Structure 1
């Protein structure tokens, strides 16, 4: 072999080794990629944007304190547009193309169910922020929890029961009308568990009516409901339709109280329904900014400083879900999916914004609920309900 060829081979060898070393160095110093998938556009963008802000704040705080496992967190943000099909696409993208080690996000149950299916199929840990339908974490074929899917929120059986007990005991309502968004897994699940607890407690469902998301005119079903003279109208829907329904109900002369769930919690609700129409209404929720525990107080101050406004419950849930996931990565001392999964499953006494929280064998959160009343367009904290 000629000297010239030998020199060329030597140079190539040096370049190759240097490249390998550089490559290893890049790999070792890579950030930890986490997917953040929320409803950033569409009918429920108010929820997704607030929750995404909560997650961004959490990851910013974590990185400012040195990150996790000696690395910084790099977030890969995707928009599920509030649609199940788009949720599948967004989750597939962050997992398959962006190569995230885990995902957090989702405030809409139907979207969370779709996203959870993708995470489970790919064996990627997924912490849902505010999706309360039991099907998000449940493997319906086995009847057990999905291996890689968890959530930071309570589920519909608890929230529906809390609403029913409040209607019976605080509102003294013996007759209820139920309005169901038949296009929403969330609304159907909430209605089911409210009705079960309400009738078990001695209440009577006098009428049940259905509507669809994006409907505009609800006066026909409201006229039927008015004829039954219920003591309370249970409306577990999303804020856009809820605002329109309550406004039209008041215009028809329905003065009975309305009661709903966490999906009411948006500033858009008051804009759509109007402050006066929303008087004498209540809803169950994950959290109130009036909570005075140390984690909540620190969160509220940090959120106001970061975004120039008060947080809502969706902001809090996005924040909690992000910290819950990072806490598991830290305890697992690894970014391997199976180890993160096992750490999540073992979560006990996690310090959430609404107090200590643990995860059940079904990967659902045990945490308190709050009752919120709307007065002249303002949210007023009524009471906290501990886990049943």
Structure 2
């Protein structure tokens, strides 16, 4: 997941000026679990700002994973401590949080941040410090790579990549929906959307009838929808986030545009349905990392525990962070030490990890080899899902 940032340069400079040195955050902090004498896991999350809808459930899920681990005896009979700071959805602040966690708190590993931009900002810090990070939802293709051939030693993720979901949606449009003609409504203000568009176009074998652009923060889409309303097409692809997508869906359906609408993991937030109106959310399909409708006992236990603790249903971002945390905890146990270098090596060797988002192994580029879901929404509710496996 790549996310947009709504704080301008002046706001970023103000936040930096408010700190007393590298690693001091402008936001809140919290500690859960033990007294810090055993395993200490860091959280670098967007708990406020534009990406807080992603970062907050992620941090909650890490807290839950640590709590359940401690109830089960912890690691080597010691409680695990979770120490989290708010990076305020600002890349510069994410780097500062990483510095604080790695050099002052001396954590064994870090979970987060949520977004690609924030994740990339912390990477040089962790490379120098030799502390691993597992990214729950940073889907940008090159996040784990220094260049086309060299992997960042300490950076891992548990989510699929943008190119994979763009290809999945193109194949789903052709093979499952029988689409031969597509329209793309693209957020041209983000690398996330542009990359998804390129991946979709590279695989879709039919005709791209039209491509219309909008920008982050737009709310009135009547002009671009009027441009496409009378064209001959089978599906609409909207590479973007739930804020604009929800309004696009609402306005499209109210204009009488009834064709199926496809979207990426940026659709995976309940606010999409709230913005669109449940009655308008028919024939919507998006790539998802997780489905709460799974009959897997591990998934159902996670959902129950999360709702009991936080009073809300876990979303896919919580599920990804829960897997990221448990992967790190398993690696610490495998390594038999809190030494970050040894834990990094154990993470890199992960195979057949059974998480709530599926079973996966990490490849040579520190990406998970795993299946994804294409989630179908009807009347604002999940009506089904299609499992898509990597080639």
TM-score by length of 1: 0.86
5+ long unaligned stretches in structure 2:
1-34
How many corresponding residue pairs? 357
Write out the 4+ residue segments of structure 1 that deviate beyond 4 Å after TM superposition: none
Candidates 283, 287, 295, aligned match of 1:284: 287
2:138 corresponds to:
131
CA distance in 1, matches of 2:211, 2:225: 11
CA distance in 1, matches of 2:261, 2:119: 27
Query: Taking structure 1 as reference, are residues 105 and 275 closer, same or farther at Cα in structure 2, changes over 3 Å only?
Result: same
Q: Which moved more, 1:76-85 or 1:221-230?
A: 221-230
Mapped pair 1:306 → 2:313: no
On the 8 A contact 1:130/1:314 being kept in 2, the answer is: yes
Query: Taking structure 1 as reference, are residues 179 and 117 closer, same or farther at Cα in structure 2, changes over 3 Å only?
Result: farther
CA distance in 2, matches of 1:182, 1:74: 41
Mapped pair 1:259 → 2:262: yes
Q: How does 1:211-360 map to 2 (within 5 A)?
A: 211-360=214-363
On the 8 A contact 1:69/1:334 being kept in 2, the answer is: no
Candidates 142, 149, 158, aligned match of 1:152: 158
2:149 corresponds to:
143
What do the CA deviations read for 1:82-107 (whole angstroms, capped 9, x no partner)?
Answer: 33333223323322333322100233
CA distance in 1, matches of 2:131, 2:106: 10
Root-mean-square deviation over aligned CA pairs? 2.0
CA distance in 2, matches of 1:29, 1:69: 14
CA distance in 2, matches of 1:320, 1:99: 22
On the 8 A contact 1:84/1:111 being kept in 2, the answer is: yes
What do the CA deviations read for 1:280-315 (whole angstroms, capped 9, x no partner)?
Answer: 211110111111223212212222322233222111
CA distance in 2, matches of 1:91, 1:208: 39
Query: Taking structure 1 as reference, are residues 83 and 224 closer, same or farther at Cα in structure 2, changes over 3 Å only?
Result: farther
2:92 corresponds to:
85
Query: Taking structure 1 as reference, are residues 254 and 58 closer, same or farther at Cα in structure 2, changes over 3 Å only?
Result: same
2:378 corresponds to:
375
On the 8 A contact 2:320/2:357 being kept in 1, the answer is: no
CA distance in 2, matches of 1:43, 1:233: 26
CA distance in 1, matches of 2:295, 2:381: 19
SS in structure 1 of the partner of residue 280 of structure 2:
coil
CA distance in 1, matches of 2:63, 2:254: 41
Mapped pair 1:164 → 2:170: yes
Query: Taking structure 1 as reference, are residues 203 and 310 closer, same or farther at Cα in structure 2, changes over 3 Å only?
Result: same
CA distance in 2, matches of 1:229, 1:270: 27
Query: Taking structure 1 as reference, are residues 220 and 87 closer, same or farther at Cα in structure 2, changes over 3 Å only?
Result: farther
SS in structure 2 of the partner of residue 144 of structure 1:
coil
SS in structure 2 of the partner of residue 259 of structure 1:
strand
SS in structure 2 of the partner of residue 196 of structure 1:
helix
CA distance in 2, matches of 1:93, 1:180: 37
2:25 corresponds to:
none
Q: How does 1:64-83 map to 2 (within 5 A)?
A: 64-83=71-90
Post-superposition offset of 1:227 = 4.9
CA distance in 1, matches of 2:145, 2:231: 37
SS in structure 1 of the partner of residue 177 of structure 2:
coil
Candidates 110, 116, 125, aligned match of 1:103: 110
Post-superposition offset of 1:217 = 2.4
2:52 corresponds to:
45
Q: Which moved more, 1:302-311 or 1:128-137?
A: 302-311
1:209 corresponds to:
212
On the 8 A contact 1:110/1:185 being kept in 2, the answer is: no
Mapped pair 1:56 → 2:63: yes
Mapped pair 1:183 → 2:189: yes
1:23 corresponds to:
none
Query: Taking structure 1 as reference, are residues 29 and 115 closer, same or farther at Cα in structure 2, changes over 3 Å only?
Result: closer
Post-superposition offset of 1:29 = 7.4
Post-superposition offset of 1:324 = 0.7
On the 8 A contact 2:36/2:81 being kept in 1, the answer is: no
5+ long unaligned stretches in structure 1:
1-27
Q: Which moved more, 1:97-106 or 1:122-131?
A: 97-106
On the 8 A contact 1:235/1:259 being kept in 2, the answer is: yes
On the 8 A contact 2:249/2:276 being kept in 1, the answer is: yes
